[in-house]
Structure 1
Amino acid sequence: MRSNQIKAVLLLLSLSLLAGCAVPQNQPSIRTSSYDTSMLAARKAGFVKKDSLLVRAKNVGDVDALAKENNLTVTRRLSALGIAELTKSNPPAGWLDSIIEKLSADHRLVFVEPNLSLKVKDSGISNVSLKESKDEDPLRSLQYSLDSMSVPEAWKTSSGDPKVVVAVIDSGVDPKHEDLKSNLSPEAYNAYYKKKGLDAAAPSVVSRLGGQFAALGHGTHVAGIIAAEGNNKKGIIGVAPRCTILPVKVFPDLKDNGQNAQDSQTLVAGAVAEGLVYAAEHGAAVINMSLGFSTESKTLAAAVAYALGKGVSVLVAAGNERMEGSPINTLANLPGVIGVGATDEDDKVTYFSNSGKYVSVSAPGWRVLSTMPSFLNGLIGKPYQYMDGTSMACPNAAGVAALVKSVNPSLTPAQVKDILEKSAEDQGPKGFDEDYGFGRLNAARAVALAK
């Protein structure tokens, strides 16, 4: 029953009022008197970090001089993009608006924009009774999503390649989980604090669950869908169980303060951009982003384009706001990205899955069973739970993309996207539609087409 399921909501900035205010991505700069309609709205709504901004300089060497002139600190350098994050200590009221207006006229800059920020929102979790079998993966019988996408048939050709790395840009992945630890890359990274290592990229540990828990379990759940280890007599099996997961954490650590544990849980564009660049430069073949914004960011657009240019396929969840009019997830709407919608056990589009022209394909996102952090055992029972959302559909699709790359590593992101779309099983109206995209994914067909 739905009341017994974990209601996981995509980590998506709720800016429905901004959906129609986006500025075309080919606009090269922000030198207009009104700046950018959607960014102005975001600033007024408070969906930006009030003490920082992002700038792209024509000459990277000008960043330090510009920061010094304006009494700012360079807190993040995205050298590959020529972009930097500048921060003001204890800024006065109105500072962000005034500095953006000033720097918008600075001839040394290509653009300046606020550092988009969002507070994670999702509902709590409930204990779910999981009936195990004596199979090699005891919970495999509960994973309808694998059968819906004909994954077992695809495994006859390939169950993945350890050399194919899938980056999970999210809230962290549990490095000690019994079903994940063998498939995690030691190159794991915390993009928020700029620290390397599996422990740095692990989800925050708290002794009590607050009213929310996305930061605790979301990234680990996503990783398990993609590449939980197979045939180990434990838990579940991922879509691509022999591929490697690269955890890239983009959230700050939580403070263990009981019911208010999520208060510090804020996602910022600068950290997400750094995560994208890091993944592209550290061997990722596929990037999964079960997150998004409804305001355009030139910084994030540049980071996604950089990853695609490095030959990395980028998959982004479509969003869970269908009931609020399906505001565009601007990350999923970027050129070359594979936007993923969610279906249920009956191949019906879910009630929450956003619709739109940017939905490339769909995949199971309703009642998807996967891994949860081990430290939650005493709070939720076993380290496996159900979650709903396009956040779950996206890693199902990323797993299929990983199988495709395992069969043919030379494929470009455009070719991978084309294969997933052409091999999908048409659902709904004939041909492409804005609910299913080109259809619900079929892994067996995709792998066959990739050969």
Structure 2
Amino acid sequence: MTRWGFIGFLAVAGCMPDESSHRDAQLTACPGITAGMLPGEPHGKATAGLDSGDEDGRERVIIRYRREDGVTAAQVHQLVGQVTATFRNVPAVAARVTPEERLALALDPRVESIEPDQKLYALGTSAPTALALATTLAGTREYVGELRRVQALEVWDQDGDGLPDPGAVTGAGVKVCVIDSGLDLDHPELRDAVVAARDFLDGDDAPSDRDEERWGSGHGTHVAGIIAARPGLGGRGGPVLDERGLMGVAPGAQLIIARVLNLEGSTHMSLVMKALEYCQAEGAKVASLSLGGSLGSLNTEEGFKAALDGGMLVVAAAGNEGQGLMSYPASDPSVLGVGALDNTDRRAVFSSYGEGLALMAPGVDVLSTFPQGRGSFAALEVGDSRPMSRSLLYAPTGDTWGSLVDCGMGESVASCGEDGSCRGFVAYVHPSAYVRPDRAIVNVMRQGARAVIFASELMEGGAEILSVPQRGTWVPSVTITQAASTVMERQLGATAKLSLRPADYAYMSGTSMATPYVSGIAALLFSARPSATPAEVKAALLSSAKDLGDSGYDEQYGHGLVQARRALEALVGPVP
């Protein structure tokens, strides 16, 4: 689930486009220009096992049976024709039922309850918010600044050479289950990390975040890299990263990949419950869930408690709604809920909070692994200045240039005024609550824009520009910092040069990005003391966190910023 900031739009926009952009895509102000989505353009097929077939009138439900009746799966199949999942830890099954079948089940004395098989969503945005962007990396280290903030380097890189110290605690021997969208299985930083995998959508053991037609969001690849990207195995990352790439917070941990999110970033609770059981059966000590959005029930609470009682610590994202109510399952009493901090250690404007929030971790402008060649790094030059910029995900790569033209909010095909030229220019667009970014890009493209620069203007609710749709015709597009936006106002009319280079990494923001920091640090603790219980690891994490906000625990920041070294010392004693 992505938060709609005051101009934010869903990362799944490529699959749910503004219909007006379909109708008007060919009605260009300049002749011969194709912009945005074409009418009737395919957007990818539904993912098997999730939403396909709902048009037949069946509803996805979870049916709970009374324990004393001991109903078997075979009996359930007789009662309900389309059982989609059975559970070991909960006396329930998931099924697709017609209204008539649901009524018959409700009248069955063996049935305790029938509840919707609720939807959950990925909890990461796809690009920086309008908050100040982090300083660009110099390319001389294999790790990013967030690892310093959470003290990971004090655990396994005390000599500061960018590699784990001999004999240091790196998460070795600990399995972390990433319940997410799958990943790029061939990414050089992750190939050696994966020890088990299951795709709960396609029903196979190859949880790739793509189908034969297109890639998904890249969400799972990004999350997995934050946890366990390997040292010395970098992909394409120049000029931001050197050839060694980057490292995860627990670079020795083993990953179990459980794919439950489809290409649009959504799933159902029954798949998450099955994934939890799978993770536990595979020996995971930590489960990392950068997803949420539903409400808890007796079934789900029993499922998460069974995971905890079985020795697995479950960590989940608090949500991106910016409100005082966390998403589920982060709000579950058996789950460790994690909120996101910006690069000044303030709660990110999008990060949800509330009763039960446990910890905070970096969650704005986080650099991590991404499907190979699907990320991009931007370089922008305007006159004599070089403003910091971030490319919108899925924007086309390449070099372009043109006169910088103020196009207002990009609300119409006349927004660039007389300075707009069919010969080509670079559009400077001001975010608006009333114009979707993809709509603004289409409008300025139709006036001849070769590229788009989105300003960062903090207003109520913040500003988010997430991505361009993955299908259609677009131009290179970036967002810039608030400080750069102020300078840009004085550069109108100057020549703007924009370069987007393909990369195997990307910057993303969200509580999705904060969660794997906590999951990785939990893996470090289990690695240092394999006999530790989830309760002991949780206590160490909470007692050692860096206090933020009001003194002591508070609902805005929980116990504070997770700290790896301090948590390790709380669990095992002084670290040399």
How big is the shift at 1:195?
2.0
Number of the residue aligned with 2:210 = 204
Give matches, 1:11-50, under 5 Å. Answer: 50=58
SS in 2 for 1:418: helix
How big is the shift at 1:62?
4.2
Give matches, 1:108-257, under 5 Å. Answer: 108-118=110-120, 133-135=139-141, 137=142, 140=143, 143-155=144-156, 156=158, 158-185=168-195, 187-196=196-205, 200-205=206-211, 215-232=216-233, 233-252=243-262, 254=263
How big is the shift at 1:100?
4.4
Q: Which amino acid aligns with 1:202?
A: S
Q: Deviations over 1:269-289 (max 9, x none)?
A: 111110111001101010000
1:353 aligned onto 2:351: yes
Q: Structure 1 residues 115, 348: closer, same or farther in 2, change over 3 A?
A: same
How big is the shift at 1:249?
0.2
Number of the residue aligned with 2:85 = 76
1:286 aligned onto 2:295: no
Q: Which amino acid aligns with 2:249?
A: V
Q: Deviations over 1:334-364 (max 9, x none)?
A: 1231110111221111111111012101111
SS in 2 for 1:179: coil
Q: Structure 1 residues 134, 119: closer, same or farther in 2, change over 3 A?
A: closer
State the number of aligned residues: 374
How big is the shift at 1:182?
1.1
Asked which structure has the greater CA Rg, the reply is: 2
How big is the shift at 1:402?
0.7
How big is the shift at 1:122?
7.1
Structure 2 contact 89–302 (Cα < 8 Å) conserved:
no
Q: Which amino acid aligns with 1:174?
A: D
RMSD: 2.9
Q: Which amino acid aligns with 1:222?
A: V
Number of the residue aligned with 1:394 = 515
Q: Deviations over 1:107-145 (max 9, x none)?
A: 21333212112566976559x99756244x2xx2xx221
Distance (Å, rounded) in 2 between the aligned partners of 1:334 and 1:119 = 16
Q: Which amino acid aligns with 2:316?
A: V
Number of the residue aligned with 2:532 = 411
Distance (Å, rounded) in 1 between the aligned partners of 2:11 and 2:302 = 22
Structure 2 contact 285–311 (Cα < 8 Å) conserved:
yes
Unaligned runs of 5+ in 2: 1-7, 13-53, 159-166, 234-242, 377-393, 398-501
Q: Which amino acid aligns with 2:151?
A: S
Partner of residue 332 from structure 2, selected from 331, 334, 338? 334
Give matches, 1:380-391, under 5 Å. Answer: 381-391=502-512
Number of the residue aligned with 2:554 = 433
Q: Structure 1 residues 191, 301: closer, same or farther in 2, change over 3 A?
A: farther
Structure 1 contact 294–327 (Cα < 8 Å) conserved:
no
How big is the shift at 1:207?
5.9
Structure 1 contact 169–288 (Cα < 8 Å) conserved:
yes
Distance (Å, rounded) in 2 between the aligned partners of 1:331 and 1:319 = 10
How big is the shift at 1:74?
2.1
Bigger helix fraction: 1
1:267 aligned onto 2:275: no
Distance (Å, rounded) in 1 between the aligned partners of 2:335 and 2:307 = 10
How big is the shift at 1:327?
3.4
Structure 2 contact 230–252 (Cα < 8 Å) conserved:
yes
Distance (Å, rounded) in 2 between the aligned partners of 1:292 and 1:247 = 18
Distance (Å, rounded) in 1 between the aligned partners of 2:286 and 2:103 = 38
How big is the shift at 1:302?
2.5
Q: Structure 1 residues 132, 116: closer, same or farther in 2, change over 3 A?
A: same
The alignment's TM-score, normalised by the length of structure 1, stands at 0.76
Distance (Å, rounded) in 1 between the aligned partners of 2:283 and 2:9 = 29
Structure 2 contact 122–261 (Cα < 8 Å) conserved:
no
Give matches, 1:358-369, under 5 Å. Answer: 358-369=356-367
Distance (Å, rounded) in 1 between the aligned partners of 2:352 and 2:106 = 34
Unaligned runs of 5+ in 1: 1-6, 12-45, 210-214, 255-261
Structure 1 contact 148–345 (Cα < 8 Å) conserved:
no
Q: Structure 1 residues 315, 181: closer, same or farther in 2, change over 3 A?
A: same
Structure 2 contact 124–509 (Cα < 8 Å) conserved:
no
How big is the shift at 1:447?
1.1
The alignment's TM-score, normalised by the length of structure 2, stands at 0.60
Q: Deviations over 1:374-416 (max 9, x none)?
A: 1526856111111111100000111111111111111111111
